[in-house]
Every structure is written in structure tokens, then in C-alpha cells.
Structure 1
Amino acid sequence: MQVIETLAEGLKREIKVVIPAKDMEAQMNERLEDVKGRVRINGFRPGKVPFAHLKKMYGKSVMAELVNEIVRDRPSAILSERGEKSATQPEIGMTEDQAEAEKILNGQADFEFTLSYEVIPAIALKDNSGIAVTREVVDVDAKEVDDQILKIAESARSYETKKGKAADGDRVTIDYLGKVDGVAFDGGKDEDAELVLGSNRFIPGFEEQLVGLKAGDEKVITVTFPADYPAANLAGKEATFDINVKEVAAAADIEINDDLASKLGLESADKLREIVRGQIESQYGSVTRQKVKRQILDQLDEMYKFDTPERLVDAEFENIWRQINTDLAQSGKTFADEDTTEEAAREEYRKLAERRVRLGLVLSEIGEKAGVQVTDEEMQQSLFQQLRQFPGQEKQILEYFQKTPGAAASLRAPIFEEKVVDHLLGEIKVTDKSVSKEELMADDEEGADKDAKKAAPKKKAAKAEAAEGDDAAPKKKAPAKKKAAEGDAE
């Protein structure tokens, strides 16, 4: 087998592989000999089929199997021998001439194919001890815990029937019938419906017109469905509702005690406060970590400058661009509405894609050198999280991850990336700073990718920019051993 490099330009490589016809025929003959004693052909006893006849019957199909195996297995071996890693799956080129293909399958011509790929650039890791970050920490006070408990307790709030007029915060029990142009519409009728006034559960204007009514009252109210109402036959339409008030009930005061905890499925008020405090601290902790990670990525971006594989950048840009256009379409806006142009946005998001790819490769190299591993248990937990997001579709999700090449890597990547960040936090300088929750939750414009924000749709670009402050690594495409940092940490 001959391996000839035909292109070495930057990160781009092209390899021509030639396997002589005699070598292909020798492999084919070896396989035919191996099956000679097992094949069954009418007119011949087992093991007595003349080799020439066997070759005539099965030679071409065996050669086709060889070709398929070679293009499947040899590329990775060739790259390994060359000490190279391909950024994406190498593109394989073979003859499209039918006559030439027939000669190859008949063992009359050398088998040639080409490999086109981009190599992963060599990354010389630098000393991380110079990286310094500020970790913002919020002290959760007792009032915030109790305020959150009161919000949660709304679901367990009790109501007591009252006489007199309904006020904001009261719960009314009503029968109603909705009509458009005097005709009742589907879904516009209910009986014994319970509605807390001021909860904004119903369309704008509905609840306000029930304030002041009392049990036994009947009233016809008029409202207008929002223009973006999901039911197209009602969107923007004026409608009337025949209302019959059956009960008015006042909300009982909520007291944080063991009885409330019991209603929420816990043994005591102390346990309730402990759990709620933990939830609040976890929420703040996620924001804190996001900001710390952003600072790390910003400094790594300054430390490492190298050419990135174009195909990886293309794939990441397409992910970002698809999301941007989806968000614009959903909001009914254009690039002009966001004070930019499509051309300018493309340029800036291309820069963002390059940054993500470069940081992804850096994080991957750091993790690989540090021996960071993702355990089977961590992968299992990640899979279970995916299953919980799609109740009723567990079987389809499992089949997807079992049968889709690269699907497992999409679970592994964000786990690996977070573990690399944990590793870095043990090497860099971290200074804790106490801040208020308002300071923590404020937009960190300094840490965000300012250039991308200038040209991007400002309100709907969040998903494309937000993954750890614009800077998460590629989400989809990544090199075989470099998929480490392809996922977002969120």
C-alpha cells in the first residue's frame, strides 16, 4: 500500500492511497480459500468446488467487501501512523467511473482513494497559575428564604367562603360560556372553574371584570384575544363571556409552620427552610459558576492564538446561525430591527464560532493532559436527565442514543468540560467576593463577547451567545478524541 501526501496547506491535508491490484487479489483469494470448504453450490460436493468457479461466482462480491472494509478501517490507521488527528471525519474520494470501478472489483486495476481532512493543531499548553478570577458569592438571608417559601406555599393556600364582593386575591368559582359574534366556540365553556383574581391565568381583561361580583351574580363581559393567541380562529378576536358566579372565597393567611411543611410533604418547618435555602443557594451558585467560567474562558482566549479547523468552525457557525434565524423568525423581527445587517451579523458570529472552536480544543487538550475522565455513572446520570425531559418518549430517546453515531459524545462533552473547569479552579487564583443578589444577577457586559453583541440581534441572540457568556465550546462537531469541550456547561 502506498500513502502519498498530495496536499499540506495550513491545517488542510489530502492523502492518496494506492493498493496494488495484486495485493487486493491476494486478499480476495485468501478469503475465498477460507470459505471454500463451507460454501454450497449445486453440482459440487462440499469442499470440492473448483477455485476458478468459486472466484467467478463470488470474487466480485468479496472484492466489494474488501473495498468497504478498507475505506472504513484504513483511514484511522493511516492518520495514526502519521501522528495526526483529524478535526472531523475525513472525506473519502473514490472513482466514479463505472468501467474503472468494474476493473477494481475484477482485480484488474489498483484500488485508489483519497482522504481529505484538517488536522487538529498542536497546542502547547501554558502555565495556568497566572489566571485569576473573582468568585461572587451571595449570602442568603432568612427573609429571602421565607419569601420564597411563601411563593411556593401559594399552591397549598386554603380559601374560605366569604360573603360580599370579590376582590383581588380572592378565588371565585364560576361557570362561563365564551362566544364570538354571538356563537359559542370550542374550548370556551367550563363549569365550576376556580380562578384566583389577579393570577393572570386568563386572557387580559377577563379577571379584572370579575372584581366586585358576589355569589349568585351573572354578568356578560367583553374581552379581546391577544393577536398572538395560539388558537388562530380566536387570535385578535373580540369575544363575550356569560359569567355565573357560584362562590367567592377569601385566601387564608399563610404561616410558615410545621402544618404548612406537612402540606408540602415535609416533616417540619425547619426542614422546609433547609431545602428552600439549598435551592436558592444552588440557583445563585449556578450563576456564580457561569461568571467564573466566563472569566476563565476570556483569559484562555487571550493566552491561546492559533488557526482553527475550518470545518469545525463552519459547523459551529451553522449551529449559531440557525438559532439566530429561528429566534428572529419567532419574534417577527429582522436584522434591521436590531440595528444591524445580515452581513455584519454573519461576520461577528463567525468570529464567535472561531472562538468557541479554539477554546473547545484548548479545554480538550488541558483535560486530556490532566487525565480528566468521564465515568459510566456520570454518563448514565446524564442520560437519565435527558429521559426526564421527555416523559413518555423514553424508549425513543434510548434508541436514539444507542443507534446514533456521536450521540453519546453529546452527553459526555458537557460533563468533561465542567470537570476540566473544576481542574482549572484548582490551579488558578480564585478570590471570593460577597455581593448582593442584584449584583450577581446583573448582566456581566464586561465578560460577554462585546463584538458579537454589537452585530447580533440583541434580545433574541441569547441562546447563541449565552452558553457560559458567549464562549462555550462547539456543541455538535468535534474531533474524535477532541470532543471533550464541544458541549455547553449549561
Structure 2
Amino acid sequence: MQVTETLNDGLKRGYEITITASELDDKVTAKLEEAQPEIEMKGFRKGKVPMAMLRKQFGPRILGEAMQEAVDGAMSEHFEKSGDRPALQPKIEMKDGENWKEGDDVVVTVEYEALPEIPEVDLSGVTLERLVVKAGDDAINEALENLAGTAKNFEAKDGKAENGDQVVIDFEGFVDGEAFEGGKGEGYPLELGSGSFIPGFEEELLGAKAGDDVEVKVTFPEQYGAEHLAGKDAVFKCKVHEVKAPKAAEINDELAKQFGAEDLAALKAQIAERLEAEYAGAARQVMKRGLLDQLDDKVKFELPPALVEAEAQQIAHQLWHEENPEVHDHNHGEIETTEEHQKLAERRVRLGLLLAEIGRKQEIEVTDAEMTQAVMNQARQYPGQERAFFEFVQQNPQMQQQLRAPIFEDKVIDHIAGEATVTDKEVSKEDLQKEIEKLDEA
């Protein structure tokens, strides 16, 4: 086997790999000899099939395997000797593939962009500011009022139903004059404005009073779950038994017990802890941006053009969909990248490669437990389909990488912050919010 360099320009590399016909034949023979003892064929005892017959029946398939193994072996040996790490999957093509025939040498061309040498960075020279926000009484009381709102009760009232009120109704639905299955209920407590019934239903009950009979006319959505009802006009005959007004729960020890706390003081302490954890998470994002900005200024190196172009395309595509939220598929024209996309892509690629290199040198890894937790967190977005999501992740390496990458990045960021000089600065919730808004603007 012969490997000849054909391109060495910056990070671009090109090689021509020649595998001689005799080398291939030796590999095929070795594979057939290894398999021969287990092969049975009509007219021959197990392990006694002549090599010529084996070669005739299995030779073409074995030849393909031998070619692939030879190329893979040559590439592995090359990367081990050269120290190159390809930025993207190498482009591998068989030279004169259409005209190749058994007995010819195999010539394969390989092209790729190598990852650059990434210089060391003095992390001790990085200085960071960590914003600290304490949970004030106003924020705690606001959270308490929100909790009381979720624990609200409804009390009977006189007069017309308003948005936010609860109406207790009997109802029966009809399509084309016929009652349909699942369209009937008795004594149902419906909160107006909750959006729990099909669009238009709750609005039709605004202004109703206890004792009223109301005909609600609606149209089922085109994408409704029951196909026989999708897009159909319907009439619901409703009897209003009661109209009730919402009343927030009182903020006291009883409310605290509803949320698992011993008393109101304990609930306030839990709320303060949760709020400060949220503030700390937001402050971490601000500190992370400051850290990345410093690293971007400190370290410069050549970037693989194909990697930058792929990132720029992804950025342009993502931003286009954000600007055109009504388009949910990818059946649109080509999206051209701009200079702004290119600059952002260069920053992302540079920082991504730098963080990956720091993580590699520090032997930072994502543990199985961390991956399992990430999968569980993601699976919660698909209630009732958690098992299917777990199986999907197990069978999808790309999805595994999408879940692993942010965990790895956060661990590297924590390592760098541990090496850097960090000072705490206490600020208000409003000041932290302003810093977060700056991140969105950048």
C-alpha cells in the first residue's frame, strides 16, 4: 500500500492511496480461509468446500469488504502518524471507479481539512465578574401572590359570567343534527379564558347567567385529533347551573402546606432559594459571555474554511426561520450567508475548537449519569412518549452529541472559571435583567 501526498495548503490536505491487486487478493484469501471451516455447501462436508468455489460464490462481497478495510486502515495509520485530526468527514473517492475491474490496483483519493494547532492560553490572566442578586421581599411577595393565584378557589356570584370566571355546565354537542360520541358532559366546571375547550367555545359563554340555556356554535380545528370531527361545524347545547368568580387563596400557613412547606416562613425561604438559583443561572450566562469575549480576544489561529462555512450556513438558516416563523419546513430557496453570518461563524468555530482542546487536555468528560439526566430532562417535553424518546436517543448518535455538547461546554467553562480570577458584585434584579437583555442584543 502506498500513500502519496497531493495537497498541503494551509489546513487543506490531499492524499492518494494505492492498494495493489496482490494486496487485495491476499486479504480476500485470508478472509475466505478464516471462514472456510464453518461453511457448508451442497455436495461437500462442512469445512471441505474448495477455495475456488468459495471465491466464486463469496469473492465479490469479500473483495468489497477488503477494499473498505484497507482504506480505513490506511487512513487510521495516516492520522496516527501525522497527528492530523480532520475538521469534517474526509472526502474519499475511488479513482477511475467506473472503469475499475477485478485484478486492477485500487487508487483512492482522500481530501480533508485538518484541525489547526491551538495555542496554549494563560487562564490565570482571565478576570471575571460574577453578578450576585439577593431575593428581596418584593420578589418573594410577588411569587407568593402567583402561587396563591394558582391555588385559587371559585365562589358563586350573581350576574353575568366574565373572563376568568368559572361556569358549571351540562353540555351536549351535535354535528349535522346528530349527537357525537365524547361530546357530552354534566356538571363540568369550565374556567372561561383557560383555552381548555375548542376555540370559540368559551367566548360564547361570556355574559351567561345561572339558569341560562346557551347554544354554542363553533367549528372544530382542521387539525383536530378526531378525524371525523376535524373542520366540522358543531352546536353545543349548554345548561348553565352556576357562575363563580375566582378568589385567590389567602397567603398564610395553610397555603404553605398546600405546597409542601411546614409554614409560611418555610415557604418564603423555599421561594427565596429558588429565586436566587434562577438569578445565579442568569448571572452565569452573563459571566460566560464575558469569559468567551476574553478568550476570543486572547487566542487567534487559522480556522478550517469548510467548518466556518458550515457554521455560517447554519446560522443563516436559523436566523431566517426566526424571521419567518410561519415556515416550519425546509422547502424554501437557498439562504445566502452574509458577512455578519461569517464573522459570527468564525467566532463560534474558534471558541468551539478552543474549548474542545482545553477539555481534551484536561481530560474533561461527560459522565453516563450526566447524559442520563440530560435525556430525562429532554424526555419530559414529550409526556407519555418518554420511552420512545429514550429509544430514539439510543439509536441516534447525532442526538446524543446534541445533548452531550452543552454539558461538555459547561464543564470546560467551569474549569476555566476555576483557573481565572473571579470577583462577586451584588446587583439588583433589574440590573441583572439589563445585562441579560444585552446578551440578546449582541
TM-score of the superposition, structure 1-length normalised? 0.74
Does the C-alpha gap of structure 1 residues 384 and 59 become closer, same or farther in structure 2, counting only changes over 3 Å? Answer: same
Give, in whole Å, the separation in 2 of the partners of 1:380 and 1:194. 40
Is the aligned partner of 1:315 residue 2:307? no
Give, in whole Å, the separation in 2 of the partners of 1:45 and 1:410. 52
Deviation string for 1:224-248 (max 9, x for gaps)?
A: x9xx9988xxxxxxx9999864323
**Paired residue for 1:361?**
353
**Paired residue for 1:131?**
126
Give, in whole Å, the separation in 1 of the partners of 2:182 and 2:312. 43
**Paired residue for 1:484?**
none
Is the aligned partner of 1:397 residue 2:392? no
Give, in whole Å, the separation in 2 of the partners of 1:174 and 1:62. 74
**Paired residue for 2:94?**
94
Counting aligned pairs with the same residue, the percent is 41
TM-score of the superposition, structure 2-length normalised? 0.82
Give, in whole Å, the separation in 2 of the partners of 1:438 and 1:222. 47
**Paired residue for 1:58?**
58
Deviation string for 1:264-304 (max 9, x for gaps)?
A: 34443344333322322222222111111111111111112
- Aligned to 1:327, the other structure's residue is in SS state helix
Give, in whole Å, the separation in 2 of the partners of 1:331 and 1:369. 44
- Most deviating of 249-258 and 292-301: 249-258
How far did 1:173 drift? 3.5
**Paired residue for 1:488?**
none
**Paired residue for 1:144?**
139
Decide whether the 8 Å contact of 1:71 with 1:92 is kept in 2.
Answer: no
**Paired residue for 2:18?**
18
Does the C-alpha gap of structure 1 residues 30 and 209 become closer, same or farther in structure 2, counting only changes over 3 Å? Answer: closer
Give, in whole Å, the separation in 2 of the partners of 1:19 and 1:430. 57
How far did 1:422 drift? 0.6
- Most deviating of 416-425 and 270-279: 270-279
Deviation string for 1:116-169 (max 9, x for gaps)?
A: 111110001211222222222211023322321221232321222234565676
Structure 1 gap ranges (5+): 232-238, 333-341, 451-490
Deviation string for 1:397-428 (max 9, x for gaps)?
A: 23332222343222221111001111111122
Decide whether the 8 Å contact of 1:162 with 1:249 is kept in 2.
Answer: yes
Give, in whole Å, the separation in 2 of the partners of 1:320 and 1:368. 26
Does the C-alpha gap of structure 1 residues 30 and 324 become closer, same or farther in structure 2, counting only changes over 3 Å? Answer: same
Deviation string for 1:380-412 (max 9, x for gaps)?
A: 211222222222333432333222234322222
- Aligned to 2:131, the other structure's residue is in SS state strand
**Paired residue for 1:159?**
154
Decide whether the 8 Å contact of 1:157 with 1:251 is kept in 2.
Answer: yes
1:423 pairs with 411, 415, 428, which one? 415
Structure 2 gap ranges (5+): 225-233, 328-334
Partner amino acid for 1:83? G
How far did 1:362 drift? 0.7
**Paired residue for 2:3?**
3
**Paired residue for 2:68?**
68
1:377 pairs with 364, 369, 377, which one? 369
Give, in whole Å, the separation in 2 of the partners of 1:381 and 1:96. 50
Give, in whole Å, the separation in 1 of the partners of 2:188 and 2:423. 54
Decide whether the 8 Å contact of 2:151 with 2:248 is kept in 1.
Answer: no
Partner amino acid for 2:39? V
Decide whether the 8 Å contact of 1:295 with 1:447 is kept in 2.
Answer: no
How far did 1:443 drift? 5.4
Alignment size in residue pairs: 434
Partner amino acid for 1:277? A
Decide whether the 8 Å contact of 2:18 with 2:106 is kept in 1.
Answer: yes
Decide whether the 8 Å contact of 1:200 with 1:207 is kept in 2.
Answer: no
Give, in whole Å, the separation in 1 of the partners of 2:396 and 2:432. 40
Give, in whole Å, the separation in 1 of the partners of 2:7 and 2:278. 51
Give, in whole Å, the separation in 2 of the partners of 1:204 and 1:47. 77
Is the aligned partner of 1:297 residue 2:292? yes
Does the C-alpha gap of structure 1 residues 449 and 347 become closer, same or farther in structure 2, counting only changes over 3 Å? Answer: farther
- Most deviating of 14-23 and 321-330: 321-330
